[in-house]
Amino acid sequence: MIHFVLLISRQGKVRLAKWYSTFSAKERSKVVRELSGTILSREPELCQFVHWRGFTVVYKKYAGLYVCMCVGQDDNELEIFDIIHRYVVLLDCYFGNVCELDLVFNFHKAYYILDELIVAGELQESSTRTVLQQIVAHDVMVAVAREEASTLNNIISQVTQY
């Protein structure tokens, strides 16, 4: 299973951190510190696996962003590359040519997308289209709710006006 997912910028800033195994707040910041140190300093031609406390951390670099996933010894490290890539493709489709700023300002959207791809540290869906459909459906529901709220407000304000 995937124990955690981290998105780290080249400057070492955390853009997204999702924990599927239990880590206390202290451990979490320690993990981020240790891993960003090791991963950011690795040369690009080296293999993209880092051994870390009995886990393997698989990472892939997209422009200035490192996507890291931590898996156990029995997991298929090569498959993780495809999962990472799948996630990045989803972000790209959703935001349309995603850049780091999208993730900064819409970090919650990045989490929503991740939640549709991975639950409980396991891959949930192998189809890009299905994931995007789900996200769009969510967004539509939020938009409808807002619409309703604003019409309701309008009605109330009109009623109170007269």
Partner 1 sequence: MNPFSSGTRLRDMIRAIRACKTAAEERAVVRKECAAIRAAISENDQDYRHRNIAKLMFIHMLGYPTHFGQMECLKLIASPGFPEKRIGYLGLMLLLDERQEVLMLVTNSIKQDLNHTNQYIVGLALCALGNIGSAEMARDLAPEVERLLQFRDPNIRKKAALCSIRIIKKVPDLVENFMNPAASLLKEKHHGVLLTGVQLCTDLCKISSEALEYFRKKCTDSLVKVLKDLVNSPYAPEYDISGITDPFLHIRLLRFLRILGQGDADASDSMNDILAQVATKTESNKNAGNAILYECVATIMSIEDNGGLRVLAINILGRFLSNRDNNIRYVALNMLMRAITVDSQAVQRHRATILECVKDSDASIRKRALELVYLLVNESNAKPLTKELIEYLEVSDPEFKGDLTAKICSIIEKFSPEKIWYIDNMLKVLSEAGNYVKDEVWHALIVVITNASNLHGYSVRSLYRAVQTTGDQETLLRVAVWCIGEYGDMLINSAGMLNIEEPITVTESDAVDVIETTIKRHSSDLTTRAMCLVALLKLSSRFPSCSQRINDIIVHYKGSLVLELQQRAIEFSSIVDRHQNIRSALVERMPVLDEATYSGRRAGSVSAVASTSQAATLNLPNGVAKTAAAPLVDLLDLSSDDVPAPSSSGGDFLQDLLGVDLAPASSQSGINQTQKSGNDVLLDLLSIGTPPAQSSTAIPEILSSNQDNKSPINILEQLSSPSAPSGHVSSPANSPMVDLLDGFAPKPQKPEDNGTAYPSITAFESSSLRVTFNFSKQPGNPQITLIDALFENKTSNSCTNFIFQAAVPKFLQLHLDPASSTTLPASGNGSITQKLRITNSQHGKKSLVMRIRIAYKKDDKDALEEGQISNFPRGL
Amino acid occupying residue 139: D
- Residue 46 or 159: which CB sits closer to partner 1? 46
Give the shortest CB-92-to-partner 1 separation in angstroms. Answer: 15
Binding site for partner 1 (CB under 8 A): 14-20, 22-25, 29, 45-51, 76-79, 81-83, 104-105, 107-108, 111-112, 115, 119-120, 122-130, 134, 137-138, 141-142, 145-146, 149-150, 153
121 phi and psi angles, rounded to 5 deg: 80, 10
DSSP per-residue codes, 48-94: SEEEETTEEEEEEEETTEEEEEEE-TTS-HHHHHHHHHHHHHHHHHH
Give the shortest CB-160-to-partner 1 separation in angstroms. Answer: 14
- Residue 63 or 150: which CB sits closer to partner 1? 150
